Amino acid sequence: MTVRNLGKTLIIANPAAHSGKGEQAIPRLERFFSLYQDVCESIDIQTTAAPLDAVHLAAGASEMDTVIVLGGDGVIHEAVNGLMSLDPECRPTLGIVAMGTGNDFARTLGLSFNDPDSSLAELVAGKTRKIDLGLVSSDLPSEGSPINPQETYFVETLSFGMDAAIALDTTERREADAHKEGSGLFVSSSVKMALTNSSGHPCDVVIDDERLWLNEVIFAIQNGPTYGGGFRICPDADPSDGLLDICYNTIRPPIPYLLNLLARARFGTHVSSPAVSLRKAKSIHLDFHGAQPPCQADGERVVGTRFEVSIIPQALDVIFA
């Protein structure tokens, strides 16, 4: 096995990740890097204590060769937004020790999750790959984007309408009760949101050069294939192909049919339904004509009434299995 050298390494660790298991994993990382000193030139472990800490820590990492993020998709999202504020010439490689509820980005990279020992082995034996990132700009500022309040990078998923309402509800419920997690949480939120968010959100959409008028219930834009802890909403999404994958409803399905679609999305079989369409695109424009739909990027709330979404090809070096 070839062991890579990570160079100057910053670890951004979220102690609260995965119901507090993130804190238990930090001593494992400290022990690993003290035993195997030849895998990096230096190591600096910083913990997050509040939202957006990971953004600021990553934005200050221009002297580092590698930034390792220990936590779930939310803290990874924050760290990536911090890294993207750096000049590309001094932007560190991203590695992850996935400790979260959904872990969809780890799934996309073929990495282990909620298993720090396996993740560490993958970091020192893995390969580096350039991946694309999505970028969403809106007409209103979001509190979760301190670098530029009106634009947010996303590593895995951006969604509107019921998709977003489900993601935001799962985040809120996890914050209220750390023991709620996994696909079961996503399913229960899906049922709850289908009863309150199934009427749709009228929207003008331009996908590349094609204009559509949609009453949008499901509108997911993916860089990787899954969301919600493994639901294969865009099964063919590839984070290195220079394209975003889109799944959206073509008709407004009744609630029982909608719940059936969500259940089928677990395995990606919803793609055969005439109620949904899948597309690939480089840019998407959405105009909700003054209304603010539920919107989320990697589980973080985004606000606005008009959105411009684009792909940033080959934006970031990441370590994958």
The amino acid at residue 266 is R
Q: What is the CB neighbour count within 10 angstroms for residue 304?
A: 20
Residue-level pLDDT at 258:
86
C-alpha torsion sign, points 265, 270, 275, 276: positive
pLDDT tens-digit profile, the chain (321 residues):
567 899 999 999 999 998 889 999 999 999 999 999 899 999 999 999 999 999 999 999 999 999 999 999 999 999 999 999 999 999 999 999 999 988 999 999 999 999 999 999 999 999 999 999 999 999 998 766 666 788 999 999 999 998 888 888 887 776 666 555 556 676 777 777 777 777 889 999 999 999 999 998 899 999 999 998 899 999 999 999 999 999 999 998 888 888 889 889 999 999 999 999 999 999 999 999 999 999 999 989 999 999 999 999 999 999 998
Residue-level pLDDT at 187:
72
Judge contact between 280 and 115, C-beta under 8 A: no
C-alpha torsion sign, points 17, 21, 27, 31: negative
Residue-level pLDDT at 182:
56
- DSSP per-residue letters across 216-271: ESEEEEESSS-BTTTB-SSTT--TTSS-EEEEEESS---HHHHHHHHHHHTTTGGG
DSSP reduced 3-state for 101: coil
**CA–CA distance, 63 with 65 (Å, rounded to integer):** 7
Residue-level pLDDT at 181:
57
What pTM did the predictor assign?
0.93
Residue-level pLDDT at 20:
87
Residue-level pLDDT at 101:
86
Residue-level pLDDT at 180:
56
Question: For residue 137, what are the contacts with CB-CB under 8 A and spacing of at least 6?
Answer: 150, 151, 307, 308, 309
Judge contact between 122 and 319, C-beta under 8 A: yes
Packing angle of the helix pair 17-35, 116-125 (nearest 10 deg): 50
Judge contact between 191 and 276, C-beta under 8 A: no
Residue-level pLDDT at 191:
75
Residue-level pLDDT at 274:
94
